[in-house]
Amino acid sequence: MNFKLKNPFGIRSKLVFLSSFLLVIPWLGYRYILVMEDYLRRGQEQTVLGMAQALASALNERPELFDEGSYSPARQSEDLYVYPVFSPLSLNDGELIDWREYQQYEVDYGRDDYLRTSLNPLRVYARDNSLSFKNMVGEYNGSLYAYFKVTDDKIVYRSRDTLSVHRSDFLQISMLSKEGNAVNRFVVAPHEPEFLYPFKVGPDFSDPIHEERISGQWYETDDGYEIELQIPMEMLGDRLGFALFDVDDPESRAISTVIGTYKVADAERLGSLRLPTPEIDRIVAGMDHSNSRIQVVDRSGRVLLTVGDIQSASGLQLSSRSADQQSNNYWVYIKDKILNPLYYRILTKPSNDFIDELYSEVSRDGAHIDSALVGTANTQFRTLADTQTRLLEAAYPILANGEVMGAVVVDQNMNGLRTFRNQALESLFNTILAVMFLVMFGLFFFASRISSRIRGLRNQAESIIDDSGRVQNTIVASQNSDEIGDLSRSFSNIVERLSQYTSYLENMSSRLSHELRTPVTVVRSSLENLGMTEKNEESAIYIERAEEGIKRLNLILTNMSEATRLEQMLQTSEKEKIDLNKVVHGCVEGYKLAYPEANFERDAPEYSILISGVPEYIAQLLDKLVANAVEFSYKDQPITVYCRTLRDHAVVKIINAGPFLPEEMKDRLFESMISVRPQEKQKQPHLGIGLHIARIIADFHGGQISAENRLDKEGVIITLVVPLFYK
């Protein structure tokens, strides 16, 4: 038996190794999605450029839009445009410098805005241009701010000795109340350039009550005065009007001119508060929902207007995935805690929390704008260093009369695309992980099944033939129709034929003896008859010799069938609980009588050794072993019969001192018809049946029998191992 080193790579590990090539699939998917992303990015680039082009086309050939100063919205109604102001405004600084670039949005009011009121009921038109003002309304931090640059040739302040507030230059603020059911009027009529002290008045300027929520400053300028004021938004309804009353004669203090932001002094005719929508705004406003930041710059790169903010300008609208996240909390947990952290070691997650430091409200620059301002549309990508956010910027020139008037700049961040790509990769990886897990598991299961079947077949094949080469089991033919099943069936076939042949060989002696018995009987009975009749002395000798020969022949025949007979008897025998030690003891006592010339020693404990067996057969077994031991012992050398328990087995050893067994015969000694006796010792016929019978009995008791040469001196040990009685 040569046991080779076991193959370290079984079918299972080979299949698992092969299936690891499946890992190439996610890599391919990753590559594919990267290519997709590239396509999408180019698409987005084209879209953004197209958007810029469309806008630029709308603005083409309209040079007036870009005229210096005319970019203020044309005043068309009594509505007031409230510009959002992004910087704090100061009321008491005495100048308008803090309004900065918002001043370009101021609106002129002049002679055409003459207002007839109860104080100047007679005059229908303005007498001259002595009063005009520029007005700007802005909103900052929950308050409405306004300033008035008033041009007035004569400033008449309220006299300190009068209670009336309408007999000087004053500003009237009319507003619809928050509830919308009444018009509140406030008057600002200072005694001198001062911090404002406004009054709430009735319709006819009576009952002035101080209103402290409105604050502001009045100060004089070279050609008139300026008023800055602040009204909390919560005071305001949705309609508001300003009117400036002018008194020219400090004596009569009659109102000479009133110019207002509304045409008729009527609550319904007050102007609405509106956000400014100048012309470009209106054109651009159509693009407001385009998920982009759109800017229009003029020739010098000054930003004329901005629509949208870059943080939300992701270009792509992504559908919300909150719905399916509710569906399986367990899956969400795995995804959020295990998979996503793994994925985002490789992927970058874009953040919308970034600051475009190049962006300012006032001006823009960049290679794409420079290029657009010389007449070539261009796009560029810019990566914001701190947040890994990429911005896509496109600029398209606006032309008028063949001349570049400005450019449309459309910006988008790439976060939408990046998020889209990440989502695609996530779902790809999830799917592939699931598929690979399934495939790996399937392959592993399949390989395990195959290798277990092959191992089962191997174990069966190994157990067919025992150590001495006898066919013991058969192979159960598999019903499977595949190659392994086929192999199993063909093995089963071979084993069946082999066992048939073996059983033929094993039964041959028995059948041979049976067949020979009849002719032997014929010869013997004839001889006996002859012996009874023949009185001739000479022939009597021959008859006697012939009968002697027949007797030996008969003995041989009996021995030959002994094994078969024993096996038949064993089939009907029932094992009982017996004391092996007692049986051995009885046998040894018997042998001492039966072989007076031999020297027996018993090496056994006092306690009983219980086994399950048939005492007669055990005795028969010992008979055979001892008969052999006596025959092969040297004279005067003891034959030791040893009996002990070893763990859960009983061990009986017959130890003699005699010639060694030939090495090659040791395993075959217990086979039928095997004898190691030298020819000259054959006084009696020996067929090598004795030890074979011993083994049959040992097998019947579930035990084993083996022979080995002694190590200490010349001799042989025959060992019988039988399992102990087990309830």
Partner 1 sequence: MSRRIAIVEDEAAIRENYADVLRKQGYDVMTYVNRKDAMAAFDIRLPSLAIIDIGLENEIDGGFTLCQTLRSLSDTIPIIFLTARDNDFDTVSGLRMGADDYLTKDISLPHLTARIAALFRRLDVIDQPTSPENLLQRDKLSLDIGRLTIQWDENPVPLTVTEFWMVHALAKFPGHVKSRQVLMQESKIFVDGSTITSHIKRIRKKFMLIDEAFDCIETVYGMGYRWNLSPDSIN
- Phi/psi at 550 (5° precision): -65, -35
Cα angle 242, 243, 245 (rounded to 5 degrees) comes to 155
Tell me the C-alpha distance between 374 and 674, whole Å. Answer: 114
| Binding of partner 1 by 594 (CB under 8 A) | yes
| Binding of partner 1 by 603 (CB under 8 A) | no
Tell me 68's DSSP state: T
# residues contacting partner 1 (CB under 8 A) = 39
Nearer to partner 1, 87 or 568 (CB): 568
Q: How far is the CB of 563 from partner 1 (least distance, A)?
A: 10
Taking CB under 8 A as the criterion, the residue among 172, 478, 559, 656 binding partner 1 is 559
Nearer to partner 1, 342 or 512 (CB): 512
Burial-class residue 723 by CB neighbours within 10 Å (0-12, 13-18, 19+): middle
Pairing verdict, β 599-603 and 638-646: parallel
Which amino acid is located at 660 in the chain? F
Nearer to partner 1, 46 or 521 (CB): 521
Taking CB under 8 A as the criterion, the residue among 459, 503, 529, 536 binding partner 1 is 529
> Among the candidate windows 65-73, 261-269, 520-528, 713-721, which touches partner 1 by CB under 8 A?
520-528
Q: How far is the CB of 613 from partner 1 (least distance, A)?
A: 12
Long-range pairs of 50-54 with CB within 8 A, sequence gap ≥ 24: 51/287, 51/290, 51/292, 51/294, 51/394, 51/410, 52/294, 52/377, 52/394, 52/395, 52/396, 52/408, 52/409, 52/410, 53/377, 53/396, 53/408, 54/287
| Binding of partner 1 by 589 (CB under 8 A) | yes
Tell me the C-alpha distance between 579 and 627, whole Å. Answer: 22
Give, as ranges, the residues between 458 and 517 that touch partner 1 (CB under 8 A).
514, 517
Output the DSSP codes for 276-299. Answer: ---HHHHHHHTTTTSSSEEEEEET
SS3 679: helix
C-alpha distances out from residue 658 to 628, 635, 654, 716, 717, Å:
11, 9, 12, 7, 10
Q: How far is the CB of 605 from partner 1 (least distance, A)?
A: 18
Name the nearest CA neighbour of 37 among 353, 415, 298: 415
> Among the candidate windows 374-382, 458-466, 523-531, 630-638, which touches partner 1 by CB under 8 A?
523-531
> What is the contact mask toward partner 1 in residues 688 to 727, using x (rule: CB under 8 A)?
----------------------------------------
Q: How far is the CB of 637 from partner 1 (least distance, A)?
A: 20
Q: What is the enclosing helix (H) or strand (E) of 26? A: helix 24-59
Q: How far is the CB of 510 from partner 1 (least distance, A)?
A: 9
Helix ranges (DSSP H) in 580-614: 580-594
Report whether 654 contacts 626 (CB < 8 A).
yes
- Phi/psi at 62 (5° precision): -130, 70
> Among the candidate windows 108-116, 194-202, 329-337, 560-568, which touches partner 1 by CB under 8 A?
560-568
Which residues have CB under 8 Å from 179's CB, separation 6+?
237
Nearer to partner 1, 453 or 514 (CB): 514
Q: How far is the CB of 592 from partner 1 (least distance, A)?
A: 9
Nearer to partner 1, 312 or 521 (CB): 521
What is the torsion angle, in degrees rounded to the nearest 10, for the CA atoms of residue 30, residue 33, residue 38 and residue 39?
150
Q: How far is the CB of 550 from partner 1 (least distance, A)?
A: 10
Tell me the C-alpha distance between 45 and 39, whole Å. Answer: 10
Helix ranges (DSSP H) in 664-726: 690-700
C-alpha distances out from residue 342 to 335, 394, 462, Å:
10, 35, 50
> Among the candidate windows 225-233, 294-302, 337-345, 561-569, which touches partner 1 by CB under 8 A?
561-569
Q: How far is the CB of 492 from partner 1 (least distance, A)?
A: 30
SS3 13: helix
Question: What is the torsional sign of CA 321, 327, 331, 333?
Answer: positive
Q: How far is the CB of 583 from partner 1 (least distance, A)?
A: 5
Taking CB under 8 A as the criterion, the residue among 317, 326, 481, 518 binding partner 1 is 518
| Binding of partner 1 by 288 (CB under 8 A) | no
Nearer to partner 1, 12 or 524 (CB): 524
Taking CB under 8 A as the criterion, the residue among 532, 635, 647, 711 binding partner 1 is 532
> What is the contact mask toward partner 1 in residues 562 to 581, using x (rule: CB under 8 A)?
x-xxx-xx--x---------
Nearer to partner 1, 267 or 618 (CB): 618
Tell me the C-alpha distance between 500 and 221, whole Å. Answer: 132
Q: How far is the CB of 594 from partner 1 (least distance, A)?
A: 7
CA 84 to chain centre: 49
Nearer to partner 1, 373 or 587 (CB): 587
> Among the candidate windows 23-31, 63-71, 552-560, 664-672, which touches partner 1 by CB under 8 A?
552-560
Q: How far is the CB of 702 from partner 1 (least distance, A)?
A: 20
Taking CB under 8 A as the criterion, the residue among 185, 524, 692, 701 binding partner 1 is 524
Tell me the C-alpha distance between 376 and 369, whole Å. Answer: 9
> What is the contact mask toward partner 1 in residues 617 to 636, using x (rule: CB under 8 A)?
-xxx-xx--x----------
Name the nearest CA neighbour of 656 among 716, 585, 713, 719: 716
> What is the contact mask toward partner 1 in residues 341 to 380, using x (rule: CB under 8 A)?
----------------------------------------
Tell me the C-alpha distance between 460 and 80, whole Å. Answer: 101
Tell me the C-alpha distance between 619 and 692, whole Å. Answer: 15
Q: How far is the CB of 618 from partner 1 (least distance, A)?
A: 8
Name the nearest CA neighbour of 588 among 578, 579, 598, 576: 598
> Among the candidate windows 131-139, 217-225, 376-384, 588-596, which touches partner 1 by CB under 8 A?
588-596
Nearer to partner 1, 484 or 530 (CB): 530
Nearer to partner 1, 239 or 524 (CB): 524
Q: How far is the CB of 599 from partner 1 (least distance, A)?
A: 16
Pairing verdict, β 716-723 and 649-656: antiparallel
SS3 183: strand
| Binding of partner 1 by 535 (CB under 8 A) | no
> Among the candidate windows 97-105, 125-133, 387-395, 591-599, which touches partner 1 by CB under 8 A?
591-599
> Among the candidate windows 82-90, 163-171, 611-619, 666-674, which touches partner 1 by CB under 8 A?
611-619
| Binding of partner 1 by 540 (CB under 8 A) | no
Tell me the C-alpha distance between 340 and 534, whole Å. Answer: 115
Nearer to partner 1, 299 or 517 (CB): 517
Give, as ranges, the residues between 251 and 270 that touch partner 1 (CB under 8 A).
none
| Binding of partner 1 by 554 (CB under 8 A) | yes
Binding residues for partner 1, per CB under 8 A? 514, 517-518, 521-522, 524-526, 528-529, 532, 554, 558-559, 561-562, 564-566, 568-569, 572, 583, 586-591, 593-594, 615-616, 618-620, 622-623, 626
